[in-house]
Chains A and B, each alone.
Chain A
C-alpha cells in the first residue's frame, strides 16, 4: 500500500460514515452521472415514500442549483385524494417543474380497475402511459424509486437499466455493471431506467424519512378510515367512484399503508402506528413484505418480470 500523504489528512481522525450516509452518497452519485451523461433525463414522481426520498436526494445532489430535470407523474386518475394534494403542493415549490401525463387512450376508453380488472387498468394507464409519456417528451433517462429488496425480479436489475427503443427490458442480457462505472451510451430512441435507490431497503427508507424529516402523505400513518374487504384485502373507499355491493357498507377501521398506488388496488394493513417511530417499530416486527398489499403483483407468479419487460417501471 502507498505511503500516507504528508498533508493535513495524516492527522485526521477517522470519520465513520453511517450506513445511511453511504446509501445517500451512492444515490447522489448515480443522479449526477445521469445528468452528466444523458441528454434529457426525467424523474418519475409517484408521490409515495420512495419518490419522496428520491426527490429529497435530488435536491441535495444539485444544491444550490435547481433540479436539472423535470418531475413526471404518470397519473391513472385513481390515486388517493391526499396524494393529488401532495403532488400539487410539490409542483408549487420553487425550482420544481412537474408534468402530469394521463394516457389519452385510457381516458378515451374510460379504463378503470372495476370494469377492466387490475391487469388491464395497470397496463393501459401505467405501462402504456409511461411509454407514451417518455416517447412524447423524448426523455432518454427516467429515474425510478424502485428498490431491489421489493421483489425477486427487481433484485436482478441493474442500477442503469437499458431499454430498447420499444421500451423492452431484456433480463437475460443485461449490460455488465462494474464498480460504480455506469455505461449510459445508447443509440437514438433507446433509453435508461435508472434506480438510485436500488440498494435501499424498506427499513432504510423509513429511517431516512425519520432522520431527515421528509414530508410524506399521512396515508402511511394509522388512522380511522372507511374500509371494505375485497379478496382478503382491506380497501379504503377514498371517493364515491367505488362500486359497493348491495348491502355492503364501508366500516371505519384503524389502518395504514406500507405502499401506495391506485386506491382500489392497494391493500391497507390494520395498525396503530400513527407516528414514524411507531411505523419503524412495526416494520421491525413485520412478518409480511410490503408488496403483499399490492393486488397487481398477485396476478401471476412472475407478473412483475413480465410487466417490466413490457415497459412497466
Chain B
C-alpha cells in the first residue's frame, strides 16, 4: 500500500473515531499551548523590561547615597544624605559626561480650581530631558535660568493633566502645589507605565525650588549622569567616583559613601532574571508536553486493543505488518500534529489574550512555534511506535478471535 493510501486510511480512522481523537489530542494541545503562551509571556516580559531600562535614558549612570550602618546592620541604599547640588556640578566637569541631572522626590498635593490631586513630585534641572530621555509634548521644559532663580514653574505629566484639567490646555495655568502657586509651562510626552510606576503621573519643578520650598534640606536624592557615548561609560563612571570622593573628602582607606549603578548593570541583572523565568516557564510547559505525549501513547494503546478485531480483519484480507505499523504510526503522528497546530493557535490566542486583558507584555516569536511543531511530531513518533508495533505484531488469527 502506498504512503498516500496509508495517510488516507489513517485520516479516515481519525475522523471515524472523532471524540477519542479529540481526547487524544487534548494533552498535546494543552502542552503546546502552554509552551507557546509561556514562552511568549517570558519573552515579552524580558523585552518590556529591557525597553523600560533603555527608556531610563541613554548611557545612564545613577548615583545614589551610600548606606548607613548601625553597628553592623546596613540600613540600605539611600539611607545616608550625602549627595548635594555641588556634587552634581563637580561631576559635570568630566569630559566623559554629557549631562547631569540631580533629583529630589516626594509626593505633593496639587489643587487647580476645585480639583484636588495627589501625585509624584520631582525636582530636577534643565538637563533632565536629555539625561532621562524625556520629551516635552506641549510648551517647554524649564531653563537653567529658572532653576538658578528658584522659579515656581512646573512641567506636568499627561495623567496629571487628565485629572486636573478637563479638555482645556494646562499651559499658562496656575496650580497650587502644597499651597504654593506654580505656573505650568509644559506637558511631558506620554511614556506609559513601567512596572508599578506610572511615568505620566508626575510633576517636575526646578530642583532648587523643590529643595527650598517643598522638601527642605540641602541634599538631593539621586544624581542622574549621562555619559557622552557608550564608549565613555567606564570613564564617566570613574570620573564620577573620583569627583564624589574628592567632594566628600574621603581618605584612600575610606569606603565610598555613595553608589554608582550603570544602566547596563541593571539591564543584565534584569535579563538574567527574566531569562531564568523563561527557562523555568518553558521547562514546566515542556513537562506538560511530555505528559501529553504519554497521553497519546496511552490512548493509542487503548485504541490498538479496542481495534484488535479491525487489525485482524485488515490482516486477514492482506494487510502486511508494515501497512498496520504505518497506519497506526501515521495516526499517532497526525493526532500529535493536529494537536500541535491547534495548540499553537490556542497558545498564540492565550498570549494575545493575556496581553490584551491582563496588560502583560507578550512577544510571539517563531522559534517556540517551530520547536512546538517539531516536538509534537517527535512525541507522535516516539509515543506512537510502541502501540503501532504492538498492532503490527498481532497474529491475524488471534486478532480475529479477540472479543
Note whether A and B form a binding pair. no
A interface vs B, CB < 8 Å?
Answer: none
